[in-house]
Amino acid sequence: MTGPEEVRCMLMRGGTSKGAYILADDLPKDTAARDELLLRIMGSPDPRQIDGLGGAHPLTSKVAVVSASEDPGADVDYLFLQVAVDRPEVTDRQNCGNILAGVGPFAVERGLVTPRDEETSVRIRMLNTGERAVATFPTPGGRVRYTGAAEISSVPGTAAPVTIAFPPGDSPLLPTGQVRDTVAGTPVTCVDNGMPTVLIAASALKVTGYEEPAELEADPVLAARLHEIRREAGRLMGLGETESSTVPKLSLLAPPSNGGAVTTRTFIPVRCHTAIGVLGAASVAAGLRIPGTVGEGIARLPGRGDRMRIEHPTGFLDIDTRVDPGSGGTPPTALHTAVVRTARKLFDGTVFPRPASGTPAPPDRGENPTTTASVRPSGGTHGSAPR
C-alpha cells in the first residue's frame, strides 16, 4: 500500500506524552492504508524509530486523529492511535488522556473550533470508547496561549493549564461487578473510569512498588505473573483476548511515600510507565474511593474534598474524583472526574513519510535528507499556524 507523499502534521506534547496530531481529512479513509502510513510516519517497526517522528518509547509514539464532530453534543472527534515501536502495529483499543490535553488547542489551531476571548472550552468525543471530555484552556485575544504557570510532574518547566473534565460514562465502574476478584491466584480490583485498569497490591507480587521502572521491567518472574494476570483479567472485564492489546493496564499499589494517597507503578502493558496516564489515574482514584477494593489498607485517602494525589515514579498527578459507592445492590458510579494537564505545540509543518516498501523514494526537493519532517516555524509560543 502507498499513502500520500507528505502529510500536514503538528507535533505536540500532551501531558507526559508526545505525539503527532493530524486531521482525519489528511489521512486515508481506509483503515489499513491509514495505519500503514502512520507506521511510516512514526518510523515503526524499529527500536529507535530512527526514520520517523517516534521517540523510541510508547509514550512518544502516539497519534491523535482529529475531525469536526457530527454529534451535536461534541465539537470535535478524537481518535487515539498507539503506534508500536518495534512491531508493525497500530491499535485503537485504548484512549490516551495525556494526548487528549492537546486536542482542544489543536482543534482551535486548525480552525475546527472558533476560540473565545480569554478562555475556550472544547467538547471532545473520544471515538475509541464513545466517552466525552471537555477541555478548557486560555485563548486571550482568540489565540491559543501555551505559556503559563501550571506545572506537572515529569515535564520540565511550566505551561498554560488545560483543565479536562470527564462527564460520567455509561460503562460500569466495576466491569466484573465485583469489588475484588482473584485472578491468577492474586487479589485484584478491576475498574474502568475511562481506562480499563487492574489494581494490584505490589506486595502481592513480592515487590515493594517503589522500584524504578527499569528494575521492574527486568524482572522475568514479575513479567510472567503480570502477563498471566492481564490475560485473565481482560477476559473477566469483557475485553476478550488481550495478547495484542494495550488494555487493560496494570497498576501496582503501595503506601504513599511523598504525602499523596498512593504510590503506583503502571504497566502499559509490558513497559513500566515512567509516570501514569491521565485516564489510568482516574481509574486508580475511583477504585480507591470504593470500600473493599485491594487499595483499602494501602491508600491514605484525603480527609475531605475530591482531590487525590497519585504518586508515580517521577512525581505525582493530582486528580479530582467523586464516587457514589452504591448500596443495596446498586453498583458504584463515578460522579465527577477532572484533571489539570498542560500541552505545548512543538512544531507545525509537513511530515515526509518513509517510502513504502518497494516504492522508490520521492525526488529530493531540497529538504535535509537526514530528517523526515520539514518544520515550519509557528511564529512564537502561541497562535494559529497558516493553513
Q: Which domain holds residue 161?
A: 7-167+342-376
Tell me whether residue 16 is in a domain: yes
**Domain identity same for 369 and 223:** no
The neighbour count for residue 233, using CB atoms within 10 Å, is 27
Are residues 112 and 24 part of one domain? yes
Are 153 and 279 members of one domain? no
- Provide the number of structural domains found in the chain: 2
The answer to whether residues 357 and 253 belong to one domain is no
Asked if residue 174 belongs to a domain, the reply is no
- Is residue 198 in a domain? yes
CATH number at residue 97: 3.10.310.10
Task: Report the C-alpha dihedral over residues 171, 176, 179, 182, rounded to 10 degrees.
Answer: -150
Whether residue 292 is contained in a domain is answered as yes
Contact status, residue 201 vs residue 294, Cβ threshold 8 Å: yes
Its pTM stands at: 0.77
Residue carrying C-alpha cell 523526515: 372
If asked whether residues 304 and 195 sit together in one domain, one would say: yes
Question: Hey, what's the cell of 379?
Answer: 511564529
Do 73 and 207 share a domain, yes or no? no
Sequential pLDDT tens for the chain (387 residues)? 445 689 999 999 999 999 999 999 999 999 999 999 999 999 999 999 999 999 999 999 999 999 999 999 999 999 999 999 999 999 998 899 999 999 999 999 999 999 999 999 999 999 998 999 999 999 999 999 999 999 999 899 999 999 999 988 778 999 999 999 999 999 999 999 989 999 999 999 999 999 999 999 999 999 999 999 999 999 999 999 988 788 899 999 999 999 999 999 999 888 999 999 999 999 999 999 999 999 999 999 998 889 899 999 999 999 999 999 988 889 999 999 999 999 999 999 999 999 998 655 445 444 443 333 333 333 333 333 333
Q: Are residues 221 and 311 in the same domain?
A: yes
Q: Is residue 172 part of a domain?
A: no
198 and 111 in one domain?
Answer: no
Q: Is position 173 within any domain?
A: no
> Do 138 and 215 have their domain in common?
no
Residues 192 and 321 in one domain: yes
2 part of a folded domain: no
Q: Which three cell numbers stand for residue 221?
A: 518472574
| Same domain (yes/no): 110, 54 | yes
C-alpha cell at 22: 493530524
Residue at 76 is within a domain: yes
- 197 with 287, same domain? yes
**Which among 194, 199, 162 is positioned nearest to 80, based on CA atoms?**
194
